[in-house]
Amino acid sequence: MSRLYDTIEPSVIDDEMLHKAVEEQGPKEEAGKIAKQEGIDFADVESLRLDYKNILKIDNLWCFTTLRKLQLDNNIIEKIEGLHQLVNLEWLDLSFNNIDMIEGLDKLTNLRDLTLYNNRIATIENMDTLTQLHVLSLGNNDLDKLENLLYLRRFKRLRTLNLAGNPFCDSTDPDYKSYVVAFLPHLEYLDYRLIDEDTKEAAEKKFDVAIEELLHDERVTDRKQEEVEEHALQLQLHTAAFVERMDGPDLFDSLYSEDVEGQKLNTMPSVDELMAEYGKKFTEICRGIFDTGLSKHEERATEVNEFWNSINEAKTENKKEAMDFITQFLEHKKQLFVELQGDQDPQVIETKVAAYNTKVTEVWDKLMGLELQLVDQLEEAVKEFERNLSDMVGAFIEKVQGYFSQCRDLENQHHERILEISMITLEKAIKNELDEEVSEDLRMLMVDKDTVINAVTSSHDIHLLKIDNREDDIITRINAWMKGLIDSIHDEEEVQRNRARVAEITHFIDNLRDEVDNLDLHQY
């Protein structure tokens, strides 16, 4: 395919080019002169034309954060890049360039119209995040595999597609258009022509078996994806409850993952049944930790939600009371101002103005009193929340510690049994009475009493350390969570709100006093 400007010196997207492009598209005549004098803020630009500039590389567009439409057609661009900050982009034209790969579009999640016409693209790919895509032009590229079009089935909003001029269109295979219409049923226009119902029906009939197979495969894939997503959500919940992977044998399995000596000891005769019983009981205790974690997490979540609801309710009620009081005062003020402007007697005016200022002071007292009342309410709510949360976290920790104490007791009992079996196995080894099936690693371990006891003790220490570490992890994390939450409640946000409210009240009162002072009264 021929490309424009192949022999011309490439241009760079710099400030001069951008300013010139924006000015050319901006207001003309007097408005244009003013805009030029005051300067151009790229962050305010919504449309930008950079076509026919002989641009080789997309760069320096990061300032155009509100850009919705971008033309980069008829350049010599080889790679799609430098667009990740244009998150509001809805329309992008990269036609007539030298692009050979679709990439760099991940952040453009609002893109609705994408033109890549007349490039060197051989594969449709890397567009998964463009879920809003409505129009796509890929004509005059190097697409030669019809199967690659199945990638576009994920774009449920895609209505217009241009593929004309690609190798699979020029082939002797007459199925191109029928294939596209059959496998992309959401399309309304293909290669600039409306797809009528007869064409759709004929295409679906022609590929009905293949479509059914594809739908089956997609359903299987969707189910697997749903399972993955559900697992991720469950893991997120379990992690928030600080008991992830405690609903199975993970902790028990981890006891032996780095326990080389324990793995050797587990091959001793009659240990299999002992290990099975040990693992079963240990996992049941872990399940108790898991169930406790989920139930306590739900209780804490309810407490947190009720706290924030009470805070928001207090603020709403306080604001409503303040607004009702202000509304009543403004009605009084409106009537009073009408009376003042109609009064002729200076003494009467003076009396009414004094009464008004007294009323304004009452408004100040009322509003400041309401704000002080709200501050006190919030402080009391926070203190009560802290007490409740501390009690709940303490109860959870106490429960968890009880379960881990059971784990340690179980490990101690298992350790005693392993030690007994080890001594029996050592005695058989010394008498050369071990079964032939016994591994060489175990035979080398059974050399003397000290070696065996050291191995059993080492295994036991590793197990206790794993149990202690998991317990410490849960306790450390939930305490850190509680501290972080309490700290966030005590942060500067409430202080700033209070200061802003006091300033707002002060400004309001000052305006009320200024209004009466600025009235055109007869006494003045």
Percent of the chain with pLDDT over 70: 94
Percent of the chain with pLDDT over 90: 69
pLDDT of residue 8: 60
Mean pLDDT, residues 394-398: 97
Which amino acid makes up residue 343?
D
Tokens 């009880």, located at residue: 402
How far is the C-alpha of 234 from the C-alpha of 246, rounded, in Å? 12
Q: Are 137 and 162 in contact (CB under 8 A)?
A: yes
* Res. 173: pLDDT tops 70: no
* Res. 4: pLDDT tops 50: no
Mean pLDDT, residues 300-308: 95
pLDDT of residue 5: 43
Mean pLDDT, residues 479-497: 85
Q: Calculate ∠ Cα 26-31-37, nearest 5°.
A: 85
Q: How many CA atoms lie within 13 A of 119 on its CB side?
A: 27
Mean pLDDT, residues 459-463: 96
Tokens 């710099």, located at residue: 14
Backbone angles phi and psi of 242, in degrees to 5: 70, 20
* Res. 512: pLDDT tops 60: yes
pLDDT of residue 441: 86
pLDDT of residue 32: 41
Other beta carbons within 10 Å of 36: 14
Which of the pair, 521 or 427, is modelled with greater confidence? 427
Other beta carbons within 10 Å of 462: 19
pLDDT of residue 157: 95
E strand or H helix that includes residue 71: strand 69-71
pLDDT of residue 87: 94
> Which among 102-116, 168-182, 215-229 has the top mean pLDDT?
102-116
pLDDT level of residue 171 (50, 70, 90 thresholds) = low
Q: Are 165 and 138 in contact (CB under 8 A)?
A: no
Q: What is the pTM of this model?
A: 0.69
Which of the pair, 378 or 113, is modelled with greater confidence? 113
Of 136-150, 173-187, 219-233, minimum mean pLDDT range:
173-187
How far is the C-alpha of 9 from the C-alpha of 16, rounded, in Å? 17
* Res. 523: pLDDT tops 50: no
Other beta carbons within 10 Å of 243: 25
Q: Are 439 and 314 in contact (CB under 8 A)?
A: no
pLDDT level of residue 254 (50, 70, 90 thresholds) = very high
Pairing of strands 91-93, 160-162: unpaired
* Res. 71: pLDDT tops 70: yes
Other beta carbons within 10 Å of 107: 14
pLDDT level of residue 521 (50, 70, 90 thresholds) = low
Of 88-102, 244-258, 277-291, 332-346, minimum mean pLDDT range:
332-346
pLDDT of residue 388: 96
How far is the C-alpha of 39 from the C-alpha of 37, rounded, in Å? 6
Contacts (Cβ under 8 Å, ≥6 apart) of 265: 271, 418, 422, 442, 445, 455, 456, 459
Which of the pair, 438 or 456, is modelled with greater confidence? 456
pLDDT level of residue 107 (50, 70, 90 thresholds) = very high
Domain ranges of the chain: 15-206, 250-517
Q: Which residues pair with 201 in a beta bridge?
A: none
242 Ramachandran zone, left/alpha/beta (phi>0; psi -120 to 50):
left
Q: How many CA atoms lie within 13 A of 156 on its CB side?
A: 0
Instruction: Work out the mean pLDDT of the chain and round it to a whole number.
Output: 89
441-457: b (≥16 Cβ within 10 Å) or e:
ebeebbeeeeebeebbe
pLDDT of residue 520: 67
C-alpha separations of 142 from 2, 57, 167, 501 in Å: 13, 22, 6, 64
pLDDT level of residue 348 (50, 70, 90 thresholds) = confident
Q: Calculate ∠ Cα 58-63-69, nearest 5°.
A: 65
Q: Are 81 and 58 in contact (CB under 8 A)?
A: yes
pLDDT level of residue 263 (50, 70, 90 thresholds) = very high
Instruction: Report helix, strand or coil for 93.
Output: strand
Mean pLDDT, residues 55-64: 92
pLDDT of residue 490: 80
Other beta carbons within 10 Å of 465: 12
- Going across the sheet that includes 113-115, the strands are 47-49, 69-71, 91-93, 113-115, 135-137, 160-162, 189-190, 193-194
How far is the C-alpha of 311 from the C-alpha of 458, rounded, in Å? 54
Q: Calculate ∠ Cα 236-242-243, nearest 5°.
A: 90
pLDDT of residue 14: 83
Mean pLDDT, residues 179-192: 94
In 3D space, the residue among 319, 377, 336 whose CA is nearest the CA of residue 505 turns out to be 319
pLDDT level of residue 437 (50, 70, 90 thresholds) = confident
pLDDT of residue 172: 52
* Res. 110: pLDDT tops 50: yes
pLDDT per residue as tens digits for the range 8-54: 678 888 888 888 888 887 654 443 443 454 456 788 899 999 999 99
- Cβ burial of 459 (10 Å; 0-12, 13-18, 19+) is buried
pLDDT of residue 443: 87
pLDDT of residue 429: 87
Instruction: Indicate the CATH number for domain 15-206.
Output: 3.80.10.10
Q: Are 117 and 139 in contact (CB under 8 A)?
A: yes
* Res. 186: pLDDT tops 90: yes
C-alpha separations of 141 from 99, 117, 516 in Å: 9, 7, 75
pLDDT of residue 43: 84
